[in-house]
C-alpha cells in the first residue's frame, strides 16, 4: 500500500515552481511600472524647460492650432484632388492624330477637328512679339512662379475691386492649361482645388517651354479653331510664323473670351481688345510705345468667313464618334458627312438663348442644353450650352443631371410590358419603402387612380408603389438601358423618381423609342466617312445593325395614348404645338435644381434641360414652364415645311381645331415665337414644295423652242 504523504511530497516542487513564476511576473511588472514612471517624470522635467508663459504662450497656442488645421486642410485638399490625378494616367501629352473635315447632312462644310503633329509650330519659330503679347496679357510672371501666381492673383483681385467688375483674371497659364487638359469650366470650389494641384503637378513634370507650347496648341481660339496655328490660318489665312504685331495682338486677346472677341463675328470688339493687348505690352515693359504705334495705327484685318456659326458642341461629339468608328479602319485623315441640320441647329440654339434671356433672371437659371433626334436615329441638333467660347463643356452629352419625373415613362413602360394598362387602378396614398416615405408634389393624395391620371398629374406615390409591390427596380433599369440610356442608372429604390443622373442625349434617345413604335433608337451623328481620295470607309446605311424591338407595340400605343395628353391637358400645356399633336413628360428635381421637358412627334424627339452649372436651385422653375417653352419654340420651327407623321398608336397627327386654337393663343403669348429668319420659308407645305420642284424639273428638261422668225415690217408704217 502506497504512502499518501509521498504523493503530496511529489507535488510540492511543481507548486513552488509556479509560485516562483508568479513572483517573477509581479516583480517584473512592478519594476517596469516604476521605471516607466521614472522615465515619464524625467521627460516631464526635460520638457518643462521649453514651457513658455505670458504672450509667448499665446503665440505658441495659435501656431499649434494653425498646424493642426493646416494638416487637416491638406488631407482634405488632397482627397479632393485625387480624382483629378486619375486623368494624368493616360497619354495626355499626345495630340489627336485625326484630322477630320465635317459636312452637314446636305454636304456643306461646317468645321474641322483634330490636329496633326506637323501642324504644331514650335515656340522657338513663333514671332517674339506674339509670345510677349500672350505673356503680357495672360501671365506676366509666367517664368517666375511655380504654377500659381499669388502676386498676380492679388493684383487681379485689386483691379477687379477698383473697377467693381471682373476686368482681370488671376489664373496663370499653367492653371489654364490644367483646366484645358484635365478639367472643365464648372464654377465649383472642388474644381479650383483640383486645378491648383494639377498646376503644381504640371510645373513639376514639364518645363516652362513645354507648358507654353501645350497652352498655345490646345487653347480654344473661337471659330472652331483649337491652337494658335489653326487660329492664324482661320482668321488671317497664314501661318503663325508670318503674323505681324497687329495680328499677334488680336490673337493674344482671344484666349480668355474667344466667342466675345472673335474677329470674324465682331471685328470692332476684336480690334479694341487687340489695343488693350498692345497697352499690356507697354505696361509690362516688354515693348515700348514707339514699337507698338504702327500696330495701333494699322489694326489687323481678317479673312471673310461669312456669318455662319460653327456648331461646335455637335462637332465635339461627332469627332468622338469619328474616332470610335475610324479606329478600326486605319484611316486618320477623313471627311465626315454628319446628320446635323443647320436650320434645326440654329433654331435649337436660338430657342435656348431667347428664353434664357427673356426669363433667366425671373427663374434664376443660367444654362440650358437640348438635343433633337429624328425618328430614324439621326441627331439633327445639339446645344451643349449658351456660349461655347465661354465653356466648351458639353452639357448635352456629358453632364449627368437628375431626371426627376421625366424618368417616370420608363417606369410606366415597364409596367405596360408586365400587363398593366392605362386604365389599371393603383392607390395614391402614403407609402413607405424601408425608411423612405416619398410624398407628392402638393403633399396631398387622391386615393385610387388610373395610371393615366397618375402619369398626367405626375403623382409620385404610384410609380413607387408599382416598383415596390409589382416590378422591383431591376426590370425598370433594364428597360431604360434597352431604350438606349447609357448613363449609369442606379438600382436603388429612389431611382423610380429620377434620382439617377442622365444626359440630355440619353433622354432624347430613350424617348425616341416611343416615337419609333418601340424600336430601339439607333442614334448616330455620322452618315459617311470618306477619305480625301474618295474612298468610303464607313456608311451608316450599310454598316449599322438592324433596329431591335425593345417595347411591344401594345406598350408603346398605351404609353403614347397617355403622354399625348400631357401637352393638351397635363403638366406640359406650354409645350403644345399649333395644329400638331405631340407627346412628352416634364421633370423637376428636388430644390428645383433641374428642370426637363422631353417630348416627341412622329417626326422628331427633343430633350430640353435647364439649370445652373453650380447646382444652385432655380426660382421654382418646373419642367412645364421654361423647358416646355424652349421645346415648343424649337419644335414649332422644326415641323415647318415637312410631312407630319402620326405618333405610333395615335391615328391623327393633327390637333382638334378647338385645341389648336388654344395652342395658337399660347404660342402668341410665348414672346413672338419663331420671329427670326431661320433660313427657310415657313409658308408652303411640303406637298406644295414638291409640286413646284417637279414643275421646275419639267421646265428644265423641256426641249428648247426655236424662236419664230420676225414678221416683216409693214411698209408705210
Provide the 3-class DSSP secondary structure of residue 596: strand
Of 120, 138, 557, 579, which is the active-site residue? 138
CB atoms under 10 Å from CB of 165, counted, come to: 8
3-class SS string, 345-385: HHHHHHHHHHHHHHHHHHHCCCEEEEEEEECCCEEEEEECC
Question: In angstroms, rounded to a whole number, what is the distance separating the alpha carbons of residues 114 and 323?
Answer: 10
Question: In angstroms, rounded to a whole number, what is the distance separating the alpha carbons of residues 448 and 652?
Answer: 31
Note if 568 is an active site residue. no
* Chain-centre distance for alpha carbon 389: 14
Question: In angstroms, rounded to a whole number, what is the distance separating the alpha carbons of residues 643 and 126?
Answer: 55
137 within 8 A of 144, measured Cβ to Cβ: no
Note if 239 is an active site residue. no
The helices-and-strands tally (H runs, E runs) of the chain is 25, 14
331 within 8 A of 529, measured Cβ to Cβ: yes
Question: In angstroms, rounded to a whole number, what is the distance separating the alpha carbons of residues 687 and 246?
Answer: 54
311 within 8 A of 111, measured Cβ to Cβ: yes
Question: In angstroms, rounded to a whole number, what is the distance separating the alpha carbons of residues 295 and 297?
Answer: 5
176 within 8 A of 169, measured Cβ to Cβ: no
* Phi, psi of 649, rounded to the nearest 5 degrees: 90, -10
Residues 6 or more apart in contact with residue 261 via CB below 8 angstroms: 222, 253, 254, 269, 270, 273
Of 120, 391, 405, 625, which is the active-site residue? 405
User: For the residues of 646-698, what is the DSSP string, one character each?
Assistant: PPTT-S--B--HHHHHHHHHHHHHTTSTT-S--SS-SSS-HHHHHHHHHHHHH
Burial of 457 (0-12, 13-18, 19+ CB in 10 A): middle
Q: Which three cell numbers mark 637?
A: 420651327
What amino acid positions are annotated as catalytic residues? Answer: 138, 405
Amino acid at each position: 500500500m502506497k504512502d499518501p504523504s509521498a504523493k503530496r511530497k511529489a507535488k510540492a516542487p511543481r507548486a513552488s515552481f509556479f509560485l516562483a513564476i508568479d513572483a517573477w511576473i509581479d516583480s517584473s511588472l512592478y519594476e517596469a511600472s516604476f521605471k516607466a514612471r521614472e522615465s515619464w517624470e524625467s521627460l516631464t522635467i526635460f520638457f518643462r524647460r521649453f514651457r513658455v508663459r505670458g504672450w509667448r504662450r499665446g503665440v505658441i497656442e495659435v501656431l499649434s492650432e494653425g498646424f493642426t488645421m493646416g494638416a487637416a486642410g491638406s488631407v482634405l485638399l488632397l482627397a479632393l484632388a485625387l480624382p483629378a490625378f486619375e486623368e494624368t494616367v493616360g497619354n495626355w501629352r499626345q495630340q489627336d492624330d485625326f484630322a477630320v473635315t465635317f459636312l452637314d447632312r446636305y454636304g456643306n462644310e461646317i468645321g474641322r477637328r483634330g490636329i496633326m503633329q506637323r501642324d504644331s509650330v514650335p515656340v522657338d519659330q513663333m514671332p517674339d512679339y506674339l509670345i510677349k503679347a500672350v505673356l503680357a496679357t495672360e501671365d506676366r510672371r509666367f517664368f517666375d512662379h511655380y504654377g500659381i501666381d499669388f502676386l498676380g492673383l492679388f493684383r487681379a483681385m485689386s483691379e477687379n475691386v477698383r473697377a467693381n467688375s471682373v476686368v482681370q483674371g488671376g489664373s496663370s497659364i499653367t492653371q489654364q492649361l490644367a483646366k484645358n487638359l484635365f478639367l472643365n469650366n464648372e464654377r465649383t470650389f472642388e474644381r479650383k482645388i483640383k486645378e491648383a494641384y494639377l498646376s503644381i503637378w504640371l510645373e513639376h513634370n514639364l518645363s516652362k517651354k513645354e507648358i507654353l507650347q501645350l497652352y498655345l496648341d490646345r487653347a480654344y481660339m473661337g471659330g472652331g479653331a483649337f491652337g494658335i496655328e489653326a487660329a492664324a490660318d482661320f482668321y488671317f489665312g497664314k501661318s503663325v510664323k508670318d503674323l505681324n504685331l497687329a495680328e499677334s495682338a488680336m490673337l493674344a486677346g482671344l484666349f480668355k473670351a474667344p466667342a466675345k472677341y472673335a474677329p470674324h463675328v465682331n471685328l470692332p470688339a476684336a480690334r479694341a481688345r487687340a489695343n488693350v493687348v498692345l497697352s499690356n505690352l507697354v505696361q509690362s515693359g516688354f515693348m515700348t510705345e514707339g514699337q507698338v504705334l504702327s500696330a495701333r495705327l494699322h489694326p489687323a484685318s481678317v479673312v471673310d468667313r461669312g456669318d455662319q456659326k460653327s456648331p461646335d458642341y455637335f462637332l465635339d461629339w461627332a469627332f468622338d464618334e469619328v474616332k470610335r468608328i475610324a479606329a478600326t479602319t486605319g484611316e486618320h485623315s477623313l471627311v465626315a458627312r454628319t446628320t446635323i441640320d443647320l436650320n434645326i441647329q440654329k433654331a435649337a440654339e436660338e430657342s435656348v438663348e431667347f428664353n434664357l434671356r427673356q426669363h433667366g433672371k425671373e427663374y434664376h437659371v443660367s444654362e440650358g442644353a437640348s438635343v433633337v433626334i429624328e425618328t430614324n436615329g439621326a441627331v439633327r441638333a445639339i446645344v451643349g450650352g449658351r456660349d461655347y467660347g465661354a465653356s466648351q463643356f458639353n452639357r448635352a452629352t456629358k453632364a449627368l443631371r437628375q431626371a426627376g419625373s421625366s424618368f417616370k415613362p420608363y417606369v410606366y413602360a415597364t409596367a405596360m410590358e408586365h400587363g398593366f394598362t392605362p386604365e389599371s387602378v393603383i392607390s395614391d396614398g402614403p407609402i413607405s419603402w424601408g425608411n423612405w416615405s416619398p410624398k407628392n408634389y402638393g403633399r396631398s393624395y387622391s386615393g385610387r387612380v388610373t395610371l393615366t391620371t397618375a402619369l398626367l398629374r405626375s403623382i409620385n406615390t404610384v410609380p413607387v408603389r408599382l416598383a415596390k409591390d409589382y416590378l422591383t427596380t431591376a426590370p425598370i433599369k433594364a428597360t431604360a438601358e434597352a431604350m438606349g440610356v447609357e448613363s449609369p442608372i442606379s438600382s436603388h429604390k429612389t431611382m423610380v423618381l429620377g434620382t439617377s443622373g442622365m444626359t440630355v442625349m440619353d433622354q432624347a434617345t430613350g424617348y425616341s423609342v416611343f416615337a419609333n413604335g418601340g424600336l430601339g433608337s439607333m442614334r448616330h451623328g455620322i452618315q459617311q466617312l470618306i477619305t480625301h481620295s474618295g474612298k468610303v470607309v464607313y456608311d451608316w446605311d450599310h454598316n449599322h445593325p438592324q433596329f431591335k424591338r425593345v417595347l411591344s407595340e401594345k406598350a408603346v400605343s398605351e404609353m403614347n395614348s397617355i403622354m399625348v395628353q400631357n401637352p393638351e391637358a397635363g403638366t406640359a400645356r406650354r409645350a403644345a404645338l399649333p395644329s400638331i399633336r405631340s407627346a412628352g413628360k416634364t421633370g423637376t428635381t428636388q430644390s428645383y435644381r433641374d428642370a426637363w421637358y422631353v417630348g416627341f412627334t412622329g417626326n422628331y424627339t427633343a430633350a430640353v434641360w435647364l439649370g445652373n452649372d453650380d447646382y444652385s436651385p432655380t426660382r421654382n422653375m418646373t419642367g412645364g414652364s421654361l423647358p416646355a417653352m424652349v421645346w415648343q419654340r424649337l419644335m414649332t420651327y422644326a415641323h415647318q415645311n415637312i410631312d407630319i407623321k402620326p405618333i405610333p398608336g395615335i391615328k391623327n397627327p393633327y390637333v382638334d381645331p378647338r385645341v389648336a386654337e388654344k395652342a395658337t393663343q399660347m404660342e402668341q403669348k410665348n414672346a413672338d415665337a419663331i420671329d427670326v429668319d431661320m433660313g427657310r420659308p415657313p409658308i408652303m407645305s411640303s406637298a406644295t414644295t414638291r409640286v413646284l420642284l417637279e414643275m421646275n424639273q419639267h421646265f428644265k428638261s423641256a426641249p428648247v423652242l426655236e424662236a419664230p422668225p420676225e414678221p416683216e415690217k409693214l411698209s408705210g408704217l
